[in-house]
Amino acid sequence: MKLKFKDRYEYSLYWERYVNLEREAEKQFHLSEITSLSGKERQKKGRAVLGLKAVFIGTIVGDFLVYRFYRDDMPDHQINVGDVVLVSRKHPLRDGIEGTVFEKGKNFITVVFSQRLPQGKKWRIDLFVNDITFKRMLSSLEFFEKGYSLFDEKVVLGRKKPHFCEEEVEIENKKLNQFQREAVKRAVCSKELFLIHGPPGTGKTTTLIEVIIQHIKKGYRILATADSNTAVDNIVEGLIKRGVNVVRIGHPARLKKELLDVSIDAKAEAHPQYAKIREIENKIRKLRSYQENYRKPTPQLRRGLSYDEILKYAKAGKKVRGHRLETLKSMAEWIRLQKEVQKLIKQKRNIEEEILDDIIQNADVVCATNSGAGSEFLMEDIFDVIFIDEASQSTEPSCLIPLIKGKKVVLAGDHKQLPPTVLHPDAKPLSFTMFERFIKLYPENSYMLKIQYRMNDLIKQFPSEEFYNGQLISAEEVKDRKLSDITGEKGYDPITDDTPVVFIDTEGKLLEKQKKGSRSRYNPEEAKIVEHIVEELIKIGVKKEDIGIITPYKDHEEYLKKIIQDVEVKTVDGFQGREKEVIIISLVRSNPDEEIGFLDDLRRLNVALTRAKRKLIVVGDAKTLSSNETYKKFIQFVSQKGEVIKAQELLKVDTERSISS
C-alpha cells in the first residue's frame, strides 16, 4: 500500500486506475447477473423481486414521483431503502427505468422516480449500480491533478506535516469525558488536519459534533460528510439536537423520514421566494394547454423549415414547400408559445439557483454523503472546514470529493474495524483508506478515544488487548452490565446466565458446505445450534429485538433467516456501527484442511466481537479456527475468563431438561 506520492499526477493516476477497475467490477457484477440468470434465479438470490403490482402514491419534495410495488407473498430480498434499482415490465436492460427505494415493508417496496412509469400490470425490481459516485471520484481526482484543491496538496501527497497550535477551548457539551474533551481541543487547534480515532462505543460521532459546534462558534463555513446516508443522518440528528441550522443535501428517498424538513428540497419549498416558482409553473401549464390547440412543428411536418423560417413565412402570409398558410400560422403560434415557455423555464431556474444558494450560504452546516459533496448543489461551493465521519469505511477517492473543497479537514473513524468493501481483486489498494494512510503518516495529528459506553467489561477485554493495545476503558455505567438486568432472572446454564462471553465448540463435527457456483459458505448444523440458543434466550425473557446474529458469510446469513424468524441476522459488514444486548456469532468454517478463508481479516473479528452489550456467544470449530493465532488466543481467553461449551453437550443437556420436565 502506497503512503507517499511524488506529485499530483502520480497520485491521480494511481487512484484513477483502481476506481475504474472497481467501477467496472460493480457494473459487470449486476449486468452479468441480470444477463446470465433468469428473473426467478436472481429473485432466489435476493437481488430481484418479480410479479409485483404497482400503484401511484403521489409526489414528495422536489416533484419526485412515488410508486408502491407490492406482493402478498413477498420473497426475502436484499433491496433496501436508498438502493438504486431498475424497474421493468420484463427486461431490465431493455425497458428498465432507474429509481430509488424510499420505503420497505413486509409486502411492499416504495420507489421514487424522476419520470412517470408506462402502463403495466406486472413489474420486476432489480438491484442495480449507481455510476454517479464513480464519476464524481474521477472528477475529484482530475481537479486535484490540475491543482484546484483548496486543501494543501503536500499534506495529501504525504510530503508535509500538518501544522498544530495551542489555544484555549471552552467545551459546550459538559457530558464529554476527558479523552473526548482532549480530542475536541486538539481538533480545534489543528491548522489543516486532525484524525479522531474512535474504537467501538467510544462516542466518536458525539465528539465530532462537538468539534463542529466549536468551528461554528468561529464563524466558519462547514461541510460535514460520510460515505453512507445512515452515517450522515446520524450527524444531522446530533446537530439538530444542539440547535444547529442544518441543510441536508441528497435525494429525499435516501433520507430518514424524520429529517425531510431539513432537506434542501423541503427548505427550498419553504423559502419565501418559492411562491414565484409556483406562479411561473402555473403560467407554463397554461401556455402548454394553449399549445395543444396548435400544430406542433414535428420534423415531418416542417419539411426542412427551421423555427425562424416558419415564423417569417407565417408573418409574411406566404405559402412555402406545399404548406397551407393555415398550417404555417398554427405552427408559428405553437413556436411563439414554446419560446415563452422556454423563457419562463429559464426564469424559474434562475430563481431556483438563487433560493438554493441562499439556503446553503445561510446554513451553519451543510451535510451530504461524500458523493453528494460533488453534486450540482455544491459544485461551486467552497468551505473553511470539512468533517468526514466513518472515514475508515470510505475509499481515499471517496474522501477526496469533499476534501478538496476546504482548507482544513477533520476525519473520524477506526481503521481497526472493517475497511470499505472492494469487489475487484486487483483494486485492493482502495481498502487502504485515507484515514489509515494519514494516521500512519501523521500520528501526532491523531487522538484515540478510550472510554467505551457499550460493552460489559469482559466483552471489551479481548478486543482491547488484541486491537487497541489494552487502552480501552469501560465506563462505570456499563462495565457490570448483565443479562439478568433485562430478564429479571439468573438463567440455568452459560447460555442463559450472566456469563458475558461464551464459546460453543462444534469440535469439527459440523462441517461447512458450499452451494454450486457460490464462493460463499454455509453450515446447516451450526445454524441449528444458533436456532437452539435463540430459543433458550427467548425462554428466559430476552426480547427478539434485543438479539443480533452475525455471520461472516452471505449464504449462511440466508440459511439462518430461513430457520430463525423475527430476529435480526446480518453479515459482519452489515452490523458495523450497530449494537444489541445479546450477540450470537456463527463463524461457519469447519473443514479437515483447517482453512478459515477471509476470516483471517482480523478487522472482521474485531467488529463482530464488539457489537454486544451484555452477552456475547460465539459458535465455531475451535480446531479449524485455531489455525489462526488470534482466534486461538480468543478461544483461550474465553476458556480462562468465560465459558467454553461443547455443542453436543449443550444439545444433550437441553434434551435431558425437556425429558425431566
Phi, psi (deg, nearest 5) at residue 364: -70, -40
Query: What pLDDT, on a 0 to 100 scale, did the predictor assign at position 113?
Result: 93
More confident residue, 121 or 10: 10
Per-residue model confidence as pLDDT tens digits over 556-609? 999 999 999 999 999 998 888 889 999 999 999 999 999 999 899 999 999 999
Per-residue model confidence as pLDDT tens digits over 266-310? 999 999 999 999 999 999 999 999 999 999 888 788 888 899 999
Phi, psi (deg, nearest 5) at residue 263: -70, 155
pLDDT > 70? residue 612: yes
Instruction: Please state, rounded to an integer, the average pLDDT across all residues of the chain.
Output: 93
Phi, psi (deg, nearest 5) at residue 585: -105, 125
This prediction has a pTM of: 0.85
Q: Helix-strand-coil percent breakdown of the chain, rounded to 5?
A: 45, 20, 35
Which whole number is the average pLDDT over 137-144?
Answer: 96
Dihedral sign, Cα of residue 531, residue 532, residue 535, residue 540? negative
DSSP of 78-127:
---TT-EEEEESS-HHHH-EEEEEEEE-SSEEEEEESS-----SSEEEEE
Which whole number is the average pLDDT over 180-197?
Answer: 96
pLDDT > 50? residue 659: no
Query: What pLDDT, on a 0 to 100 scale, did the predictor assign at position 304?
Result: 85
pLDDT > 50? residue 101: yes
CA distance 122 to 116: 16
pLDDT band (50, 70, 90) for residue 36:
confident
pLDDT > 50? residue 655: no
Query: What pLDDT, on a 0 to 100 scale, did the predictor assign at position 214?
Result: 97
Per-residue model confidence as pLDDT tens digits over 239-265? 999 999 999 998 787 788 888 899 999
Amino acid at 543: K
**% of the chain at pLDDT higher than 70:** 98
